[in-house]
């Protein structure tokens, strides 16, 4: 199952990019044998200032046809790392070819796009900067792959 991270905003060089690149490389290596990956990052930017609706239109264009849509939103469901791993494996085992993980901009994800989601994931009730959400998502993807592979990375 191919994984697509579709996010508002451009990631510049810096510590967040270094962490994301590292975790996504690890995910690709670990996930390959599990039928997970590769992961691709799609970044969109609303240069005209159209707000969430314009961002949603750009995000929809980045979504692969037929992909399961998972939004990252503070109103979403909170999962443990093993539960997230099980959710990924479930999509894969159901024959889902693509998974799109969507991260909104500073104002979040347009309500219309949120309503289209197959699942909404929350990293807690706090609101996180979207660049940190990318880091946390990349790490959780890698952690999920190691859980599914039975590796020692995840400890309780």
Three-state SS at 61 = helix
Using CA of residue 138, residue 42, residue 9, residue 73, what is the dihedral sign?
negative
Task: Give residue 116's pLDDT.
Answer: 97
Task: Give residue 130's pLDDT.
Answer: 85
CB contact at 8 A, 131 and 13: no
CB contact at 8 A, 134 and 16: yes
pLDDT digits (tens, 9 = 90+) for 40-78: 999 999 888 889 999 999 999 999 999 999 999 999 999
Residue 69 lies in a domain: yes
Residue 1 lies in a domain: no
Virtual torsion, Cα 79, 11, 16, 118, nearest 10 deg: 10
Distance CA 74, CA 134 (A): 14
Residue 30 lies in a domain: yes
Q: What is the 3-state secondary structure (H, E, C) of 73-119?
A: EEEEEECCHHHHHHHHHHHHHCCCCEEEEEECECCECCHHHHHHCCE
Helix axes 130-149, 81-93, angle to 10 degrees: 70
Residue 154 lies in a domain: no
Task: Give residue 50's pLDDT.
Answer: 87
Distance CA 35, CA 107 (A): 34
Report the predicted TM-score, pTM, of the whole model to 2 decimal places. Answer: 0.95
Residue 126 lies in a domain: yes
Domain that holds residue 45: 16-149
Residue 93 lies in a domain: yes
Locate 31 and state its tokens: 């996930």
Task: Give residue 49's pLDDT.
Answer: 82
Residue 47 lies in a domain: yes
Domain count of the fold of the chain: 1
Residue 6 lies in a domain: no
**Residue 68 belongs to domain with CATH number:** 3.40.1280.10
The low-confidence residues of the chain, meaning pLDDT below 50, are none
Distance CA 38, CA 133 (A): 19
């Amino acid at each position: 199952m191919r994984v697509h991270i579709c996010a508002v905003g451009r990631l510049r060089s810096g510590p967040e990019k270094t962490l994301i690149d590292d975790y996504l490389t690890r995910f690709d290596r670990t996930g390959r044998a599990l039928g997970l990956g590769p992961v691709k990052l799609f970044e969109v930017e609303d240069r005209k200032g159209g707000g969430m609706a314009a961002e949603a239109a750009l995000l929809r264009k980045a979504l692969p046809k037929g992909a399961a849509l998972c939004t990252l939103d503070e109103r979403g469901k909170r999962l443990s790392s093993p539960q997230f791993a099980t959710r990924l494996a479930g999509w894969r085992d159901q024959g889902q070819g693509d998974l799109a993980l969507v991260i909104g901009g500073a104002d979040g994800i347009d309500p219309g796009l949120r309503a289209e989601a197959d699942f909404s994931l929350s990293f807690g009730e706090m609101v996180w900067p979207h660049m940190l959400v990318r880091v946390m998502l990349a790490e959780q993807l890698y952690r999920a792959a190691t859980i599914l592979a039975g590796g020692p990375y995840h400890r309780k």
